[in-house]
Structure 1
Amino acid sequence: MMYQSSKGAVEISTMPFPYASNALKKLRREAPERTDEINALADHVAALEADEAENPRAVIGGNMPPEEMPAAVTPATWTAIKAHMDDLLDLARGVTGITIEDEAQAIQVGKIMRDLQDAANLADAARTTEKAPLDEAVKEIQDRYNAYIAPLKNKAPGLVSKAVLALNNQSAAWLRKLDDERVERERLAKAAADKAAEEALAAHQAAKGSDDLDEIDAAENLLAAAEQANRDLRQIEKSKTQVKGDYRAISLRSVWRAERIEGEGGKALSHYAKTQSTRVIAFLEQLASEDVKAGIRSIPGFKIIEDRVAA
C-alpha cells in the first residue's frame, strides 16, 4: 500500500515510526476520506508500536549508537526518509518567520523542531547502516595498501616507505661525504687561484718597466696560469654532488626548518602578532573558545558572553 505524500508516493511498509505516525495523524485530520491509506498506516504504526513495546529502545530517541541501529529503522528506505523530512520541512516553512504569540504556537513549533531532530537522527542512522559495507570495503583496501605505502608520518608507516627512508639515509651519508670532499677541493682551488692571481699581478707590474724579455714572458705565463686556476675553480664551483646511474640522479638539497629558542617565545609572538595578525587572532579565539567550553569564565583580553538558546 502506498501513502501519497506531498513529495510523491511512498511504500507504507518502509516508513519509519515518526513519519508513519505523523502521516496517520495528518490524514485523519485533513483527509479522512482516504480510508485505505489510513487503515494501512494504522496497522503499520500498530506493528511498530508493538515492536517498541518488546524493545523500547528500538526507536529514535532510545540513545542507541548508529552502529547498533535497531531493526525497526533498518527497512526504512532513503525514499521514505527523504519524503518524511520533506514533509516536515514543508511544515517548518509554514511556521518560520512568524513571531510566536501564544503557548499553542510555541508547542507547535517545538513539536516540528523535535520531529525534525528525530528525522535527522533517523536519517543519520540509516546513512551509517547503508554505507557500512562501503566503509568496510574501503578500509580493507586502505589497510592492504597502507601496509606497504603508508607515509612515515602515520602511526604505522608502510614497509616501502620505511625502506625508502633507510636507503635515503644511506645515500645521504655518502653524498655528504662527497660534498665535504668537494668543498675541500673548492677551498684549495680558491686558495691556488688567489695565489696565482696575486703572483701574476706582481709579475705583470714588474714586467711593465723591465728590459728583460724572459721576465716579460714569465709574467705572461703567470697570467695564463692564473686564468687557468680561475677556470679550475669555476669548474669545481659548478660541479654537483650526486649519484648517477640508470635512474634519476640522487643529490643533496637544502631543507630549512625553524627551531624555537627556549625563553624567547614572547619575541616570536610579538613578531607574528604584527606580521600574521589575522592568524594569531584566530588562534587566540580558538583557545578562548576551548576554555569557555571547558567551563572557564574569565580570560584576559576576552569578555565572556552568555547566550540563551532553545535546546
Structure 2
Amino acid sequence: MSYSLRNKKTKICVYIIIALGILSFRSIPQEVYDKIRSSFVSLHVKFFPKIKQAPSSHLANLELENLVLKERVASLEEKLKLYEVSNHTPPLFPEILTPYFHKLVEGKVVYRDYTHWSSSCWVNVGKTHGIKKNSPVLSGNVLVGLVDYVGEHQSRIRLITDVGMKPSVVAMRGDIQSWWIKHSLRELIRQVEQISHAYILEKDKYEKISQLQELDSLIQGEGENQALLRGILSGVGGALWKEGSLCLEGEGFYFSEGKTLLPGDILVTTGLDGVFPPGLLVARVTKVKAPRDGACTFKIEAQSLEEKLMELDQLFILPPLEFNPNDRPDIFGLLWD
C-alpha cells in the first residue's frame, strides 16, 4: 500500500510541475519565448538534420527524362538490329539471299487477335512503303510468315504456324547446326549484358559472359552441309490459349536410301514453292514419327527457330519472289504453240 501511495504522489508532483511549466511559459515575455523556441529549433536541426526532398515537379521531370532516354535506347537497338540483319551474310545460298536482305523493310507489329494468335498479325507498313503481297517475313534471321494482304499503311502477315502456310523445306545437317548454336550463344551474351546489376553481381555477370564467349570459340563447324529429305511444313493455328498452337508439322518426307531425319536437323526453305527463296531458316526437327504400314512417306514435328514467336514485335519484310503461277502455257495446247 505504501508503494502505491508513494507512486500516486510522484505522479501528482510530475503533473503539477508540467502544469506550472506551461503556465510559466505563457506568462514569460514574447521576446524570451522566441529566443527559447529558436534555440530549441537550432538544437533539433543540429542533432536531427532533415533530408531535403526534391520538389515533386523536379521528380516528374526526371521520370519523363528517364522515359525519353529508354525510348531512344529502344529505337537505337531496333536500328542496330535492322542494320545487322540487312548486312549479315546468310549461312546458306548467300549469293541468292544477300540482294533480298539488302532490300528488306522494317515493320512493327501493331495488332494481333487473341483468337487468331498463331495465324496472323498486322504491321504498320503497306503500299506506301513498297510492301507487296507474298513477301517473306522474318524475325531476325528466321522466317516467320508471309504478307497475304497489303493496305495503304498496314499489312497482314500470315504466320508460319497458320494451318494454311505450307512452305517447301529441306532438312540440313552439318555446319548450319554449329552456325545456329553460335548465333544463339551470341544472342544470349547480348541479353546477359543487358541484365541489371540489381539481379546479378557485376563480377558474376562478366564471369558468365566470358564463359559463354569461350564456349562460342570452342564450337567448330563440320565444314559442309548435308541436304537430307524434302517435305512440306505447316502449322496448326489457333487461339493464344490453345495448347500446341505454336507447333509445326511436316509431311511428305520421302524415304531415301542412306538418308534419314533426326531431332536437331535444321529445316530451311527449298525455293521450289514459288513463294520463298532458298536457304531461309525456318525450324528445328523435334520428333520423327514412325511411318504408317505401306506408306512411302513419313511425318515429323518441328519447332520454329524463333523462340519469341509469342511476342513478335519487330519484323523484316523481304521483296517477293515475283513468281506468277498463272503465267504459264496452256497444258492442252500444242508443243509448238
TM-score, length of structure 1 as denominator length: 0.20
**Greater share of residues in helix:** 1
**Greater share of residues in strand:** 2
